[in-house]
Chain A
Amino acid sequence: MSTAGALDRTRPPLSEELRPLELPLFHRFRLDNGLKLLVAENPKLPEVSLRLILEAGAAAEQPELGGVAELTGRLLSEGAAGRSALEMAAWLDRLGAAFGASVGYDVANLSMHFLSDVSDGALDYLRAVVREPAFEEEEVARVRQERLDEIERHLDEPAVLADLRLIRAIYGDHPYGRPAGGEPETVASLGAAGVAGFHAERYVPDGAVLIACGALDARAFSDAVALRFDDWTGAGARSELPSPSSASAGGLILVDREHSAQAEIRVGRIGMEYAAPDFFPATLANAILGGLFNSRINMNLREDKGWTYGARSSFRFRRGAGPFVVSAAVESAAAAGAFREILAEIQSLVKRPPDDGELRLAKNALTLSLPRQFETPSLVTRKVATQQIYELPEDYWETYADRVEAVTPEEIVDAANSRIPSESMTLLAVASSAEVRPMLEEVGDVSVENAESG
Chain B
Amino acid sequence: MSHSSSPPPRSRDASEVSFDFDERVLDNGLRVVLHEDRAAPIVAVHLMYHVGSKDERAGRRGFAHLFEHLLFQGSQHVAESEHFKFIQNAGGTLNGSTWFDRTNYYETLPSSHLDLALWLESDRMGFFAPGITQEKLDNQRDVVKNERRQAYENRPYGLAFETVLRMAYPEGHPYRHPTIGFMEDLDAATLENVHEFFDSYYGPNNAVLVLAGDFDAKDALRRIDRYFGEIPPRPRPASVEVPPPALDGGRRGTIEDQVHVPRVYLMYHAPSFNEPDFETSDLLSHLLSDGKSSRLHHELIYDKRIAGEVHAFTWPTECAGMFFVVATARPGVSAGSLEEAMLESISGLRGDGLSEDEVEGARNRARRVLVQQLNGIGGRADAFAHAAVLRGEPGYVNDAFARYREVSLKGCAGLASEIFDDTRLVALHVVPATEGEEAEGKEAEGEEAE
Contact = CB atoms under 8 A, between A and B. Distances in A.
Interface of A: 1-4, 7, 9-19, 21, 27-30, 41, 43-47, 77, 85-86, 88-90, 92-98, 113-118, 142, 145-146, 149-150, 152-153, 155-158, 215-220, 257-262, 264, 292-294, 299, 302-309, 329-331, 360-361, 364-365, 367-372, 374-379
Contact of A47 (B93, B260, B364, B368): B368
Interface string B50-78: 00000000000000000000000000110
Nearest to A10: B77
B376 A376 contact: yes
A344 to B, nearest CB: 19
Interface in B198-257: 214, 221-222, 225-227, 229-230
A368 B91 contact: yes
Contacts of A294: 81, 84-85, 88
A86 B375 contact: no
B91 A364 contact: yes
Given A146-B308, A365-B91, A156 B260 contact: yes
A164 B110 CA distance: 38
Interface stretch (B98-106, B167-175, B287-295, B345-353): B287-295
Given A85-B302, A306-B139, 4 more contacts: A1-B229, A14-B115, A142-B302, A262-B146
Nearest to A142: B305
Contacts of B402: none
Contacts of B281: none
Contacts of B118: 13
Given A156-B260, A262-B153, A365-B88, A307 B331 contact: no
Contacts of B260: 152-153, 155-156
Nearest to A16: B112
20 contacts: A3-B222, A18-B41, A46-B14, A46-B17, A47-B368, A88-B292, A95-B361, A96-B367, A113-B372, A117-B14, A153-B259, A153-B308, A155-B260, A218-B4, A262-B149, A294-B85, A303-B139, A306-B141, A371-B91, A372-B93
Q: Which of A18, A150, A218, A368 has the most B CB atoms < 10 Å from its CB?
A: A368
A96 B368 contact: yes
A259 to B, nearest CB: 5
Nearest to B292: A89
Interface stretch (B5-13, B272-280, B386-394, B412-420): B5-13
B108 interface: yes
B25 interface: no
Contacts of A367: 91
Nearest to B377: A375
A12 B302 contact: no
A215 B9 CA distance: 7
A89 B10 contact: no
Nearest to B12: A46
A307 B143 CA distance: 7
Contact of B156 (A1, A44, A157): A157
A104 B300 CA distance: 28
B308 to A, nearest CB: 5
A261 B153 contact: yes
Contacts of B21: none
Given A43-B9, A86-B293, A89-B292, A219 B4 contact: yes
A361 B88 contact: yes
B130 to A, nearest CB: 12
Given A146-B301, A303-B139, A375-B376, A41 B4 contact: yes
A371 B293 contact: no
Contact of A19 (B41, B145, B149, B298): B41
Interface of B: 1-4, 6, 8-14, 16-17, 39-42, 76-77, 81, 84-86, 88-93, 108-116, 118-119, 123, 127, 138-147, 149-151, 153-156, 214, 221-222, 225-227, 229-230, 258-261, 290-294, 297-298, 301-302, 305, 308-309, 328, 330-331, 357, 360-361, 363-368, 371-372, 374-377, 433, 438-439
Contacts of B111: 19
Contacts of B119: 9, 12-13
B308 A98 contact: no
A375 B361 contact: no
Given A15-B113, A43-B10, A299 B367 contact: no
Given A94-B357, A146-B308, A158-B154, A371 B112 contact: no
Contacts of B14: 46, 115, 117
A262 B301 CA distance: 33
B290 to A, nearest CB: 8
A113 B368 contact: yes
Nearest to B7: A217
Contacts of A29: 1-2
B111 to A, nearest CB: 7
B90 A156 contact: no
Q: Which of B116, B290, B302, B368 has the most A CB atoms < 10 Å from its CB?
A: B368
> Which 10 A-B residue pairs are closest in the complex by CB-CB distance?
A368-B91, A96-B364, A306-B142, A43-B9, A19-B41, A13-B115, A89-B292, A93-B291, A261-B153, A156-B156
Given A3-B226, A47-B375, A299 B81 contact: yes
Contacts of A368: 90-92, 110
Q: Which of B41, B150, B372, B376 has the most A CB atoms < 10 Å from its CB?
A: B150
A147 to B, nearest CB: 10
Given A93-B293, A158-B154, A369 B92 contact: yes
Contact of A89 (B127, B138, B297): B297
Contact of A27 (B2, B86, B146): B2
Contacts of B360: 94
B91 A372 contact: yes
A95 B364 contact: yes
B298 A89 contact: yes
B4 A217 contact: yes
B8 A220 contact: yes
Nearest to A304: B139
A266 to B, nearest CB: 14
Q: Which of A12, A216, A292, A330 has the most B CB atoms < 10 Å from its CB?
A: A12
Contacts of A9: 76-77, 119, 123, 127
Contacts of B144: 309
Contacts of B292: 77, 85, 88-89, 92-93
Nearest to A334: B146
Nearest to A117: B13
